[in-house]
Structure 1
Amino acid sequence: MPDFDVIDLGPLPWAEAWSIQQSYVEKRKAGLVPDTLLFVEHPHVITLGRNASESNILAGRDQLARLGIEVHEANRGGDVTYHGPGQLVGYPIFELTRWKKDVRAYVQGVEQAVIRTLAGFGIEAHTRTGKETGVYVQQAGLAPAKICALGVHISRWVTSHGFALNINTDLRYFQYIVPCGLTLPVTSMEALGVTVQREEVMRVLSRHLAEIFHHEFTDSIENLQEMLPCLMS
């Protein structure tokens, strides 16, 4: 099984992470880098996917600016989502031709990696039928609550964008959007009573992604905050 690089970019604004992600996508298409998983934690930001409806942003741009929430358009699938502190965002840059050329299978693979990760921390999670992507938890007597959002882009069978798992996210920020266009509650690992370090979740999730996508993961996660100028060149 081939190795894959796992890189933690740490806290980084969305636009900067997007530039790094695009650089890796082009390098992966050219065969200059192996499959790579980028982890990042964004400051408050709302992103709109290709199918997004502006009406799913429930606050005006001036109000969002006062709250310190940026707004960006993205070329991923899906609708509107929020990223912020306490959320683990993962951007897999995978070349799928050696695995399988199947977009839905790829999305399901990422979902299963998240479900297995949560199970390891005692959280039972699931997907929903139909076209809804993401990972949910069922709470007694309540509607399913989304704990992880997914939105991907695939070009020449190289993936970008990915998932956003709520670890200890301040869930109040979701009040400013209709997450992914669905009127369902949002939750986090912390809200479900699980206290865990971001680094531990990264490591477990990396292992499960490696298993599903046939990679070798050696528990090595590089932290390249100090090398950002090189990554963006």
Structure 2
Amino acid sequence: MNNAKILELPLTAYEEVHGLQKRLVSMRLSGELDDDVVILVEHPPVYTLGKRGGRENIVVSEAFLNEQGISVVQTERGGNITWHGPGQLVAYPIVNLDEAHMGVADFVGSLEQVMIETLDALGVSARSDAVNRGVWVGDAKIGSVGIRVNHGVSFHGLALNVAPDLTFFSWINPCGLSVAMTTAEQELGCKVSMTAARSEMKRAFGALFSGGVVEMTLNELNGYSSALCWSWT
């Protein structure tokens, strides 16, 4: 695959990062941005819906979610409903698959492998499943994948449960399935550092891209386009 930049963000609202992804896709398509970009981030609690829907898989009332301060956001990615929140490491690869000569199925498999390698480095043995995509520990799901491809450029991505509160998953049928969810902390029975998880995921992405990955700051990203001028709040 191509060279890539890694952009690490702190805890940032889902909608803000979604907007950033779409602008990066436009820049990648126009040639304004030559390299692929991988965003690493955590979000405040939010449920996101894929193209297959998902509101029917919310098992609590809208009033309850409002009381909890959790929004439900419709997206254009594949898949069904999922949750994002603190303790879950999310990666959004903005990748020109046409330039990489890679099909969607192979790319999804590569993202699953990134999660498997990250977990392996943390001490958790995980696997992929050709029928139910994502990453699994036994019969429990620990990582999800959901992408969208716009004229050959991918966005959305993967979500890995490092140390989140699993209570939020009990309020939905994750990915439209009646399935148990797990975390790296739960599997290991001890605290897992999000800093360590980020470091291991960066290493795993470095192995995925032929030219490796180089860390990028937000100022450097803004330097690609005077129209971008993006900052987190």
| Structure 1 counterpart of 2:59 | 58
1:178 aligned partner, one-letter code: N
Structure 2 counterparts to residues 211-222 of structure 1, below 5 A: 211-218=207-214, 220=215, 222=217
State the match for 1:16 in structure 2: 16
Q: How many residues align?
A: 222
- Aligned-pair CA distance for 1:178: 0.2
TM-score, normalised to structure 2, is: 0.89
Per the alignment, residue 202 of structure 1 pairs with: 198
| 1:77-116 equivalent positions in 2, closer than 5 A | 77-116=78-117
* Percent of aligned pairs sharing the same letter: 33
- Return the alpha-carbon distance in structure 2 between the equivalents of residues 146 and 25 of structure 1: 29
In 2, Cα distance between equivalents of 1:152 and 1:97 = 15
Greater than 3 Å deviation, 4+ residue runs:
220-224
Q: RMSD between aligned alpha carbons?
A: 1.8
What residue number does 1:26 align with?
26
Residue aligned with 1:117, SS: helix
CA separation in 2, counterparts of 1:153 and 1:201? 25
Q: Report deviation, 1:120.
A: 1.2
User: Structure 1, residues 64-121: CA drift from partner, whole Å, max 9, x if none?
Assistant: 0101111100100000000111111110001112222311000001001111111111
Deviation at 1:200, TM superposition (A): 2.0
Q: Within 2, Cα distance between the matches of 1:55 and 1:180? A: 11
1:231 matched to which residue of 2?
230
Does the 8 A contact of 2:4 with 2:209 survive in 1? no
CA displacement at 1:127 relative to structure 2: 1.0
Deviations 1:126-147 (A, max 9, x none): 01132x2110001xxxxx1111
Unaligned runs of 5+ in 2: 223-227
| CA–CA separation in structure 2 for the residues paired with 1:45 and 1:231 | 21
Structure 1: unaligned runs, 5 residues or longer: 139-143
Q: TM-score, normalised by structure 1?
A: 0.89
